[in-house]
Amino acid sequence: METPAIGSISSDGGDISTVIEAAFKQYKTLLPPPPDSLLLENMMVTAKGSLDAFHRYYVSCLSEAQDEHGSRLAEAAMLEAHVLQANARATAAREKTLNASSDVEASLQYLQKPEGGYTSGLNGSLFRKHDLILVEDFCSELEPVLVRLTEKAVDPSYMHGTVAWDKRQQCKERDRGRKMSISSDVTFMSECDLRNERRELLKTKIRKPKAKPCHMKSLGVSSMHSPTTESKLQPKEPMPEFVSAPSSILFHDFEVGKIYQQTIELKNVSNTMRQCRVIQPISSLFTVSAGQFQGEAGYVAPGMNCYYPVTFRPQSLDDCSDVIRFRSQSGAVIGVTVEAMIPPVKLDLPPILECGQCLVGTSKQVIFPINSIDGRQRSFTVSANTARSCILLISEESEANNCLVLPPFSIRPKHFTVECGKRVDLEIHFEPQNRETAECGIILTCEKGKSQSFCVTGEGCIPNISILSLHHGQLSSAMSGELADLSADHIIRFPELNPHMNAHQVLSLRNSSAIEYSFKWMLLEPNLQPAPPISICSTETTEHEFDSSLFVVDPSQGRLAAYDIKDFLLSFTPKRVGKFDALLTFELQCADVSARSTGKEASCSDAQQSAAATFSIFTLELKGSCQQRQLMLKPSLLTVAGRISMGCTFKQKLQLVNMSLGAVEFCFETVNSPHIIEVVPASGSLGKDMEVDLTLSITGTIPGRLEVGLRCDITGEAEPIWLLVQAEIKGAEVIIEEPCLDFGLVRLGSEVTRTLTLRNPSSLRTCWTMQEECGFLFSPSSGELPPLGTALVSVVYTPTHCLTLDTVLGVDTAHGGSSSFLSARAEVQEPSVCILSCQLRVCDSYVGVPGSYTLSLYNQTLLPTEFEWGCLEGKDSEFVKATVEASRGILAPRGTLEVVVTLTPLTVGELSDLSLPCYIDGATEPIYASIFCKVHGLKACVTIEDRTETFADPATRGQLRLDFDDSVVFAEATPTSLCLVNESAMVATFSVSVERLAVRKSAPAPLTQQPKSASCSSLLQRKGGGASLQLPAAVVPSVGCGFLVQPSRGELQAFEKIPVAVTMHATMWGLYTDVLIVQIGDLEPMRIPITARVTGNPLFFQMMGPTFNKNLTFNRTPTLHFGSHCCGRPAVHRSVRVTNPSPVDIRLDWQTFKVIKDDPQLIDLIVVVGEAFPLLDGSSVVSQEAQDARADLIQVHMRQHEGFASGSLFSVGSQQTMVPALSKANVTFQFVPPLTCDTDGDTFNGYALGYMSLAPQVKNVVGVVTRDDGYQVSALRMDLSAAVKPALLQLETADEEGMLYQLTAGSLLQHDGTILNSVEATSSFLLKNNGQMSLKFGMLIDGPFVLSNVLPSVGCREEGTYCLKPHCAAQVKIGFSLTAETLKGSTGDLQVTLFENQLHYHGQVKIKHDNETQQVLPLQAIVSLPTLRVSHEVLDFGTVVVGHTRELQVNVSTQGVSAVYWSVTHSEKREVLRAVFLSTSFSEKRSSCLRSQVRGHLIKPLRQFQTTNLKWNECNLMF
């Protein structure tokens, strides 16, 4: 047997990925896939500055989830590594064991379960943590068999027989048993049968699987021997015949020496009568008596029962078990388990008896109640567990006291009995001697041998009391030089108080031990000493007092429970002023404590204190001080301002402020004689730093001076506080309700009446009298007022002259009362009006233009006054018309009224003698306004930019000119403007006109004709064509330029400025002049010269559209592309249309140029003799008259160099082209491709210039226009571009070998031996045109090669000519025609060679282009010739008997790949009697698989020879 290699991993235990997935499968869907680390960092950075709380929370949760996910993945990886390491260690250990043993032992040990191995290296707690199963859960160790056997030990499991062997033994025993006779109801088995049954019983027990745990069932883990495996190894079990009741028997709670018996009932559940026999159990403790049957001979009828008594005789109190087996007649075995066991003792004691903590040097007693859970009476003995106890002391006293002493523990009772329903207390006395944890083990042994182990623990400790906190204060230490008790641990300072106030502080103490203490607070007198360091400045000199009644601790004594926190209330209540100190000591006492435990959780109760030690834990010093109360009364002195009426109550607000350290109570006294003085509220309570508002009431009863001291008593203070009140009491008086008597404005000669109200404010009756005054009349002048009564007095005032009255009126009272006074006021006036500006000067006024002016009237009095305006007075009143807007009205008191006066002059000049009167009601004389006017006429001027010319001013005449800029472009509406200014207030008409070149408005006309189709329209729009451009919306004169004035006439308002736009519309270049006439009103007209220079080219190509508009983005030179052409081709013509929108015929003289790359020349110098561009006649010869006219004229022109004369490359069809006015003309450009070019092609760039010339009658129009032509104006330019490439087609053959044809000469043969006329083989190649131009070509093919087909069809109208468009391809098929003549070599000029029985034909395909260039494609055809081989050169028949026939075999074979038609002929040299041959045969060419062999297909013709005489015969056979 081959053992596994070290380090290998078995197929069932190596791959643990499924185990890990099953363990952590709940985490797969718990979290989403973790985000990218960079994304999470970005989210965390953005979350820090985010204002969204949910965003921050989400990012934090996401970070926590990612951390959790990473930790769980790490745990899974760790667990997987742990399992792999354990498996590797187990494999290595097993390999080491097998190598150390012999071969036989290794083979036997390999069948056993290995010791340790895989399970020994696993961490069980780690597996349980992650809910994983271990091997022990489904493959545990075998439990020991509890049956006592007298025979030898059972053989190991690997020595057992197989299942087949056991079945064969059962069959033999069954046959042997059938021969035995039944002597009684009980059948006894032989020794061999018993041995076999016992062996089967042991196999059943050993192989019995352990019950699966619950978690393994949920995971679906099967046991070691699955039902599927057992079903494969064992035969199918038969149907049961007997059923036992019960299925198992249990004897419990037994005693030695007694006999116990139970009965097993077997029921026949089959449909036939059966016989059953019993197999005695292995153990001698259990015996089965003879069965009790209802039938005869031990048979049990169907549905009937039989009974077997089972007897149990215990010999000890140990548990035991066995199996009683019943075998039926068919061999089926029924097993009934029988067990005997005593149930374990169940006590409600915890496994650890915890005594808790106890102070060192004291003792503690803990009681644990013991109850029997199963309700049986048991006796127990307590003994020491020597494995856990270090020292065991047993004395006679402990034995007598039924006590077990295990220092520092003593346990009582040592022997006890637990009766049913009763409880026994187990007392444990714990007395520690040092500060450590004590532990000992005890054993409770039952009378039936059962025992249980317990552990007794306790901890020795010292008091652990700490100050947890001090509420409302803090613990401090003594300051430098402060008087304090230096033995105190801490100082507690109370806040400063007033006498009889309370201050509280809560001190929290924590008991950090498990011991309950009895505490007591001791209050002692402190030993005060200055705290170090001591200095003269810091030494305290104030005397401190000790009074134990001032400090109180609540509670002062009591109990402090274990692990408890207790609060103590410290109170300080001073009774007098001073500083107080006290020393507070905290003492603890602890006695023996008896505690009762429930078995699960110990709690101390029923504590009894005995003589115990007293511990002083810490000492606290209490400090407190007391100061006097402080109150303030605001104000403390009250002096009433003025006098208080007798019988009236005066009230004043007071404030009482508490500046003490606590609340105070106050009480004010009340004064009732001779005056009434009281404070509300009179008493109350006032908190700390609070104030209360008080009201003081004073009621005087006697006139005179009042001075009273009011006392306020303070609770707890011996000295009161005082309030001093001072006031003046007065008697009866009369009060005038009105503060002042105002008569207002009084007109002289009238009277005014007012009313006074007199009031008696006192409770006394008062008599009064008015004091007399000049001009005043009182009604009534005297009277009597009841208490609190009133009276009305009428006062009449009559003035005698104008004045401002300001006097005092008085009222006297009787009996020496005080008098009352009030002031009286009045303003007495008469009417008075004036004009604020009595002179009105009008400096700028115009004839017939009304002007409005303002005059202001002012009322100098407070009286309303009426006024009325009169008519103009003076010498010049007839030359001015005046109107007043408000001619009459009322002027308000002290008011100003603005009056609008409208003046309309009727003549020019200065008007000074004018006045306007105003009449005032009540005045004897009117008031006048003087008027002065200066009248002007119409005045206007014209402004152009910064220059101004005034009408009727000779000094400014001739200064204005209307010049357009030199940048005026043809066909553009170029505006300029002038301004008409009316410098007067008069309204006048105006008109502006042009003398000669005036245009009129019209509808816009298209510059070019609309295209006929939408495609042409879109093309023109893309090219910038003129379909969307329009001529100026004006009718231009025939001279080619005009001026449009807007507005041309209108009305000029007063002081108005009207801009006038003069727009120039030109359709032809030139220098234009004209005059602008301006007429305003009746002023003399103004003539302004106009000068305009128009530049630009009016001609344009229709393919490009107008290029003279500077606002168009496509303003560029058009380019005429001839495209790509083959070199050597004929000239290419392109026709373009030139449009002339001007009203003048223009002649174009063309010159063509060629652009050379990297041309160093910069300028061209042109010398012209005579006329630059003379008119040519039909024969292109200059007329003699034109030459004579300018023979003496020499001109020199300079232009930018761009190229050289193109020669024959680019040219124009007609050198001169006449473009009629408002019409079009066609110009033909041509390009002649050169004969040769580079293989990559050449590109040619050039341009054509059309110089414009005019007729003499239109060049100069006197006084209107002057024009230049020829080299002096810009020429019409057309850029030219063409490309020349060689005529070249790309040839691609279908085969890598090229155009190769392979045929055999046998292809011409048929099976009947006839020869075909021809056989054709085809091959193809691909023609591609990769250029930008169409190529025309023809193909010439050498015979016997023929053109088969061209796909797709690219033929032209000319026969044999083809045209291939750019970027297109065509497939050309060429065939090779094989005929008999071709094999004979009649191929004309075709090259034919013979090589290795093959004919090689070499031809070519010539592709001729239309430019006389050609391309050649080689063609090759290989024709294999047939070869025939005969196996014998000589056929020797030898001697042949006459009349007999002899046959010889001849092998004829082909050497090539061509089929052969053969025939045999013979020529007799001598007489032949008879020759017989087989018919001719046809040898086909060999298949492709035999081409490489030398020999071909064999043909075996039969040659027969028969002779009739005795002669020598000879003949020749020819194939």
User: Per-residue pLDDT for 217 more than 60?
Assistant: no
Per the CB < 8 A criterion, the answer to whether 1248 and 1151 are in contact is: yes
Give the residue carrying structure tokens 């009480």.
667
User: Per-residue pLDDT for 1319 more than 60?
Assistant: yes
In sign, the C-alpha dihedral spanning 1407, 1410, 1412, 1413 is negative
Per the CB < 8 A criterion, the answer to whether 812 and 769 are in contact is: yes
What is the 3-class SS of 1201-1232, one letter each residue?
CCCEECCCCEEECCCEEEECCCEEEEEEEEEC
pLDDT tens digits, residue range 7-66?
333 334 444 555 555 555 444 444 444 445 556 666 666 666 667 777 778 888 888 888
Sheet bearing 896-905, strands edge to edge: 833-835, 851-859, 896-905, 880-884
CA 855, CA 899: separation in Å to the nearest integer?
A: 5
User: Per-residue pLDDT for 1386 more than 80?
Assistant: no
- Calculate the dihedral angle through the C-alpha atoms of 701, 703, 708, 712, rounding to the nearest 10 degrees: 30
pLDDT tens digits, residue range 162-188?
666 676 677 666 655 544 433 333 333
Identify which of 726, 746, 717 has the alpha carbon closest to the alpha carbon of residue 829. 746
What is the b/e burial string over 1222-1239, where b = at least 16 CB atoms within 10 angstroms of the residue's CB? eeebebebbbbbeeebee
In the structure encoding, which two tokens stand for residue 1181, read together?
């010869």
pLDDT tens digits, residue range 944-989?
888 888 887 777 777 788 888 666 777 778 888 899 999 888 889 9
* pLDDT for position 1128: 80
Chain center to CA of 621? 65
CA 300, CA 502: separation in Å to the nearest integer?
A: 104
Identify which of 1109, 1035, 1091, 1142 has the alpha carbon closest to the alpha carbon of residue 1266. 1091
Top-confidence residue, 1296 or 1324:
1324
* pLDDT for position 149: 35
CA 536, CA 542: separation in Å to the nearest integer?
A: 14
Please name the residues in contact with 4: beta carbons below 8 A apart, sequence gap of 6 or more. Answer: 10, 91, 94, 95
Listed range (788-802, 855-869, 922-936, 1455-1469) with the worst mean pLDDT = 1455-1469
DSSP conformation class of 1275: P
Helix residue ranges, H only, 325-370: none
CA 1226, CA 623: separation in Å to the nearest integer?
A: 128
* pLDDT for position 1032: 45
CA 1346, CA 1349: separation in Å to the nearest integer?
A: 9
Listed range (1215-1219, 1445-1449, 1503-1507) with the worst mean pLDDT = 1503-1507
CA 694, CA 707: separation in Å to the nearest integer?
A: 20
Query: What letter represents residue 194's amino acid?
Result: L
Query: What does DSSP say about strands 1216-1219 and 1049-1052: parallel, antiparallel, or unpaired?
Result: unpaired
User: Per-residue pLDDT for 665 more than 80?
Assistant: yes
Query: What does DSSP say about strands 593-597 and 364-370: parallel, antiparallel, or unpaired?
Result: parallel
Per the CB < 8 A criterion, the answer to whether 161 and 202 are in contact is: no
In the structure encoding, which two tokens stand for residue 1499, read together?
């043909």
User: Per-residue pLDDT for 1430 more than 50?
Assistant: yes
* pLDDT for position 155: 54
Within 13 Å and on the Cβ side, how many CA atoms surround 518?
13
pLDDT band at 613 (very low <50, low <70, confident <90, very high): low
Task: Tell me the mean pLDDT in the region 1308-1322.
Answer: 79
φ, ψ of residue 918 in degrees (nearest 5)? -135, 125
DSSP conformation class of 433: S
- Angle CA 1107–1112–1114, to nearest 5: 65
Query: What letter represents residue 1435's amino acid?
Result: L
Identify which of 560, 612, 618 has the alpha carbon closest to the alpha carbon of residue 585. 618
Please name the residues in contact with 250: beta carbons below 8 A apart, sequence gap of 6 or more. Answer: 338, 339, 340, 341
In the structure encoding, which two tokens stand for residue 746, read together?
């009084």
Query: Please, which residues bridge with residue 381 across strands?
Result: 415, 445
Classify burial at 259, counting beta carbons within 10 Å of its beta carbon; exposed 0-12, middle 13-18, buried 19 or more.
exposed
Task: Tell me the mean pLDDT in the region 1245-1270.
Answer: 88
User: Per-residue pLDDT for 612 more than 60?
Assistant: no
pLDDT tens digits, residue range 222-235?
333 333 334 333 44
pLDDT > 70: percent of the chain: 76
Task: Give the DSSP H or E segment for 796.
Answer: strand 790-797
pLDDT band at 540 (very low <50, low <70, confident <90, very high): low
Per the CB < 8 A criterion, the answer to whether 1230 and 1206 are in contact is: no
CA 409, CA 597: separation in Å to the nearest integer?
A: 16
Chain center to CA of 1271? 71
Per the CB < 8 A criterion, the answer to whether 93 and 117 are in contact is: yes
pLDDT band at 1016 (very low <50, low <70, confident <90, very high): very low
CA 988, CA 938: separation in Å to the nearest integer?
A: 8
User: Per-residue pLDDT for 1376 more than 90?
Assistant: no
How many of the other CB atoms lie within 10 Å of CB of 775? 14
Query: What letter represents residue 782's amino acid?
Result: S
SS3 501: coil
Chain center to CA of 673? 90
Per the CB < 8 A criterion, the answer to whether 1072 and 1043 are in contact is: no
* pLDDT for position 955: 72
pLDDT tens digits, residue range 628-654?
888 888 888 888 888 887 778 889 899
CA 1092, CA 1072: separation in Å to the nearest integer?
A: 5
In the structure encoding, which two tokens stand for residue 793, read together?
């007095």
* pLDDT for position 205: 42
Per the CB < 8 A criterion, the answer to whether 772 and 825 are in contact is: no
Query: What letter represents residue 1163's amino acid?
Result: I
User: Per-residue pLDDT for 1060 more than 60?
Assistant: yes
Task: Tell me the mean pLDDT in the region 589-608.
Answer: 42
Cα radius of gyration rounded to whole Å, the chain: 74
Measure Cα distances from 746 to 803, 827, 861, 890, 1446 in Å. 10, 6, 11, 18, 192
* pLDDT for position 222: 32
* pLDDT for position 815: 63
DSSP H helix total and E strand total for the chain: 16, 109
- Angle CA 1209–1210–1214, to nearest 5: 130
CA 727, CA 707: separation in Å to the nearest integer?
A: 7
Give the residue carrying structure tokens 């009182």.
778
Listed range (5-9, 739-743, 860-864) with the worst mean pLDDT = 5-9
* pLDDT for position 1357: 57
Please name the residues in contact with 1439: beta carbons below 8 A apart, sequence gap of 6 or more. Answer: none
Task: Tell me the mean pLDDT in the region 271-300.
Answer: 84
Task: Tell me the mean pLDDT in the region 572-589.
Answer: 86
Per the CB < 8 A criterion, the answer to whether 822 and 736 are in contact is: yes
CA 406, CA 410: separation in Å to the nearest integer?
A: 6
Maximum average pLDDT range among 253-257, 918-922, 1436-1440: 918-922
Task: Tell me the mean pLDDT in the region 189-210.
Answer: 45
pLDDT band at 1126 (very low <50, low <70, confident <90, very high): confident
* pLDDT for position 110: 43
